[in-house]
A and B are shown apart, each in its own frame.
Chain A
């Protein structure tokens, strides 16, 4: 058994090599996972998928800590049964955020240890005032969602990104998110080793979650098209097109795919596009039909919208939102999304009307 300090490290950072060696040395096989571990795995999973706070209990008993460490790979196996990449994403995000909270409080050596365990390339800058320097290619390999971590807002010189301690902790958390996400789903042969009863139970959990989502979506889509609940990006595109402005190719494409996804009738979509200065009945009709009936186009994610410069205020108006559809659904279904303090929900660019009128 590892010393308590290392066990705690493994508990805090269950994706680390130290944690992996704890799992390896525990002697527990997938066929005989103790109930206590399964229980912890279930809690971990439900916290991740439902966005709850997951507080690690401070254990003095090594065995209990080992159970916590083991819960992580078991949760990953359970999650893999879902075959749902948005669950994988949520789980990875959850683990990364939990890690970040701890990393911010850690001693310097722990941060460096973890960076090494994650195989990250970094150096210690000679210049005072910086904590670490990262080769820019390494920095670009890892997706960063926080505004301050975007390369444009970073200190870049001669191919190195210079980070403060807190930024380095965030960089590690971003690397954790990528590592956990890329490790899902687990290998098919590991899934086969799980007891059948447990697989069944897991599938039931996910079936319940997805059924709840499906019902919510159906309820949203069965209603009318509520323009004022559009996310700021599509509200803007909708408004510009309505006033006869010519949108970029990608603006047209993403707006059409969004409108199709929220089940706006074809004639309403055509009516809207008719206002475009370069409107061509035949071409627009062909594209809309192809997008709605033929090959299915998933509406653009926030990341994609950002890539094409169509995101409004860099997402500051829609915190926690990853997909514009998610915003629309939330706003229709559960009221306005959470907004940062002092900010108000954007006014609908489409004016006071809340429905698409005849």
Chain B
């Protein structure tokens, strides 16, 4: 039996036994589906009800199911303009690939298509023949944790700055990240330019410290007091204060143009500096002051910039994974969960839907990887018995084939 056939059968069993109760407002959305190895092979589908959608999942067993955040009058019409846009959800996507966490070096594989040399890490060109390599990305709990932190920060900003308390929902993408959906009447009709503005706010794109009231004025040392500060003003100030409360002279020297000795002298006035910052004054200590504050404030802003996938967030017509459906590259569920569960959510464990029954597979090549709460050692050209969920995980991503009996 081929990997495709085996994974297809497993998906069929799953959809036969589970009712997918997503997405909301199903009748207004465009759907697209993918086959083994291809995320979207057909689109412009529409369903009148969740029952119809579930029938389709059971009958056709797609490897990937995606739908639009956009709501249309005629979701299956073509071309796109004939669908007649009514409005849409807002969607923010985080993907571990965008985070470049140090752990990725250990679980990213490369292979040369010309001389077949392979290795670990993000090696772009073959170390032997110089040919462009093929890169294979994997994820681990550490990179998903980095994604999770940003997702939590996003939810906090949406609540604190935008005052959004209802209509938010979070789900695992089923592979490398998280999706946050906002289904809210008051944001339903926000035009495209407004979506971009909102995304820019969240990602700090086009952030201008001077426009925010910092580093302005005659001597470029204008600032804002913590009390009336709002939006990015508060984020920048709070981070700057927290950094200056703890930083060492060496850290300050590494960040700014100050020599370590100068930084140490400056830190003797730490309390005064922080007090000034709270009250809207940037401490002046000579010629290097403007440059120093620029570096400190820019660093403070940087930490709050969310690494959201721009394309997915801007393009309302782009179709994305339907929550609670299976991901064809992993066999994991795009699991939806309550916001308060996010901090403790173990995506690679809690999205498992397949059994622990043993399945014998022949593994092509993997790094050390984690799935279902278990770590598996790196393997290459090896026949092994794995629990079904791990076998599906490897078969779906073409890293293994079923062992011949």
Contact = CB atoms under 8 A, between A and B. Distances in A.
Interface of A: 127, 129-130, 136-137, 140-141, 143-144, 147-148, 150-160, 162, 249-250, 277-278, 303, 306-309, 314
B163 A159 contact: yes
Given A152-B204, A152-B205, A308 B310 contact: yes
Given A156-B201, A159-B161, A307-B314, 12 more contacts: A127-B228, A140-B190, A141-B194, A150-B211, A151-B197, A152-B200, A153-B232, A156-B162, A158-B163, A303-B193, A308-B310, A308-B311
B308 to A, nearest CB: 11
Given A150-B200, A309-B205, A155 B163 contact: no
Given A127-B228, A155-B230, A307-B314, A277 B124 contact: yes
20 contacts: A137-B186, A140-B190, A140-B197, A140-B198, A141-B189, A141-B194, A150-B200, A152-B208, A153-B208, A155-B228, A156-B161, A156-B162, A156-B230, A158-B163, A277-B132, A306-B206, A307-B196, A307-B314, A309-B205, A309-B310
Interface of B: 124, 132, 160-164, 186-187, 189-191, 193-198, 200-201, 204-208, 211-212, 228-233, 310-311, 314
A162 B196 contact: no
Nearest to A146: B211
Contacts of A147: 206, 208, 211
A254 to B, nearest CB: 13
B211 A153 contact: yes
B365 to A, nearest CB: 22
Contacts of A314: 206, 208
A137 B197 CA distance: 11
Nearest to B314: A307
A140 B162 CA distance: 11
A42 to B, nearest CB: 32
A180 B326 CA distance: 48
Nearest to B184: A137
A306 B205 CA distance: 9
Contacts of B164: 159
B85 to A, nearest CB: 16
A158 B198 contact: no
A154 B211 CA distance: 8
Nearest to B125: A277
Contacts of B124: 277
A160 B163 contact: yes
Contacts of B197: 140, 144, 150-152
Contact of A136 (B162, B211, B232): B162
Contacts of B161: 156-159
B384 to A, nearest CB: 34
Contacts of A306: 196, 206
A150 B186 CA distance: 20
B200 A141 contact: no
A129 B200 contact: no
B163 A136 contact: yes
Contacts of B314: 307-308
A162 B310 CA distance: 27
Which residue, A147, A162, A309, has most C-beta atoms of chain B within 10 A? A309
A307 B203 CA distance: 12
Nearest to B199: A307
A114 to B, nearest CB: 22
Nearest to A153: B211
Nearest to A130: B228
Contacts of A154: 231
Nearest to A159: B163
A127 B231 CA distance: 15
A150 B208 CA distance: 10
Contacts of A162: 230
A162 B228 CA distance: 10
Given A151-B201, A152-B232, A141 B191 contact: yes
A101 B86 CA distance: 36
Contact of A152 (B160, B193, B201, B228): B201
A129 B228 contact: yes
A218 B328 CA distance: 51
Given A140-B190, A309-B310, A156 B231 contact: yes
B186 A153 contact: no
Which residue, A152, A303, A307, has most C-beta atoms of chain B within 10 A? A152
Which residue, A160, A306, A307, has most C-beta atoms of chain B within 10 A? A307
Closest 7 CB pairs of A and B: A159-B163, A140-B194, A155-B230, A156-B231, A153-B211, A158-B163, A157-B230
A177 B204 CA distance: 26
A148 B211 contact: yes
A309 B203 CA distance: 11
Which residue, A129, A143, A156, A314, has most C-beta atoms of chain B within 10 A? A156
B193 A143 contact: yes
B207 A153 contact: yes
A45 B229 CA distance: 43
Nearest to B305: A152
Contacts of A249: 311
Contacts of B160: 157-158
Contacts of A307: 196, 310, 314
A250 B314 CA distance: 13
A76 B230 CA distance: 41
Which residue, A129, A130, A158, A160, has most C-beta atoms of chain B within 10 A? A158
B342 to A, nearest CB: 22
Nearest to B164: A159
Contacts of B201: 151-152, 156
A237 to B, nearest CB: 16
Contact of A278 (B132, B205, B211, B233): B132
A152 B206 contact: yes
A317 B314 CA distance: 25
B198 A151 contact: yes
Nearest to B186: A137
Nearest to A278: B132
A137 B193 contact: no
B136 to A, nearest CB: 15
Given A127-B228, A136-B163, A306-B206, A153 B194 contact: no
A314 B204 CA distance: 13
